[in-house]
Structure 1
Amino acid sequence: MSTGVWQSALTVLQEAEPPSIPVGAHAMTVVIEYPPGDPGAPPHRHPGGPAFGYVIEGEMRFELEGQPERVLRAGEAFWEPGGDVIHYSDGNASDQTTLRFTVTMLCDPAQPMLVVVDEEELAQRKHLRAPRPA
């Protein structure tokens, strides 16, 4: 019996140990597309659970609370733990090309999927943000 391509078709992009998933949670997968130079969503969090993503096209400026900002390129994966962690940036890092990425979120039905963080809270938590380039 010959071996199939399926045996070598899998590539692991990332592995993570997310926080526990609440009973009754559901998964939601979305595709987000930002035009060139778009700053993306304002600082926010996903209180209902973790989010796992993959950059399909372009370059994403990605920053989570406590981690330095980095640029993710097409073919790279990311995740965020959800809960109280602020997601500062998911904007398009290029002013020339479109950014498209997919995100799968595990959502506690008792929590909103996304909550924008206001300026007052950002100021209160600025000590938790990684140093920014000068």
Structure 2
Amino acid sequence: MKINPLMVATALVFATPAVADDIHETVATNLAHAIPNLPGKSLVAVEVNYPPGGSSRPHHHAKSAFIYAYVVSGTIESQVEGEPARTYRAGESFFETPGAHHVLGRNVSATEPAKLLAVFVVDTADKELTTPDR
């Protein structure tokens, strides 16, 4: 399998160590592939695993990234800047528009894990899919 720089960039962004007393998600790339009939675009699917009580740090997504998110298991609360926070359960889905500022992502349960599949349609040249807030 050929290593895609987009996969490497995604892994590096999400592999940031957790801050003391914070429990954060882990992210694994499941698929990264150029879309043949959309030159310059790629499809990247990542699995986001939230441990009990786990959360995501606030972050921005790539300016080109349209994201479809599907809750595989558990219950996840999510919020994009300018919109109300919403709770999604296993089997439910939502989307985020290009350049979205994701201000909240967390596992609602303190005892059960939660899993999300996020599918990005993104410019192939984009090096980072997600940039944590500083």
TM-score computed with the length of structure 2 as normaliser: 0.66
- Residue among 77, 87, 96 paired with 1:61: 77
CA distance in 2, matches of 1:116, 1:57: 24
CA distance in 2, matches of 1:23, 1:117: 30
Q: Paired residue for 2:116? A: 101
8 A Cα contact 2:40 2:125, kept in partner: no
Shift of 1:110: 2.7
**1:79-126 Cα deviation digits (max 9, x unpaired):** 10022x2011221111021101101001212322111122xxxxxxxx
Aligned Cα RMSD in Å?
Answer: 1.4
CA distance in 1, matches of 2:98, 2:117: 16
CA distance in 1, matches of 2:104, 2:50: 13
Report 1:117-128 matches (<5 A).
117-118=133-134
Structure 1 residues without counterparts, runs of 5 or longer:
1-21, 119-134
- Aligned structure 1 segments of 4 or more residues deviating by more than 2 angstroms: none
Q: Percent identity?
A: 29
Q: Paired residue for 1:113? A: 129
TM-score computed with the length of structure 1 as normaliser: 0.66
CA distance in 2, matches of 1:114, 1:25: 16
Confirm whether residue 33 of structure 1 aligns to residue 49 of structure 2.
yes
Q: Paired residue for 1:8? A: none
- Aligned residue pairs, count: 95
Confirm whether residue 50 of structure 1 aligns to residue 63 of structure 2.
no
**1:4-35 Cα deviation digits (max 9, x unpaired):** xxxxxxxxxxxxxxxxxx84010011111111
Structure 2 residues without counterparts, runs of 5 or longer:
1-37
8 A Cα contact 1:45 1:82, kept in partner: no
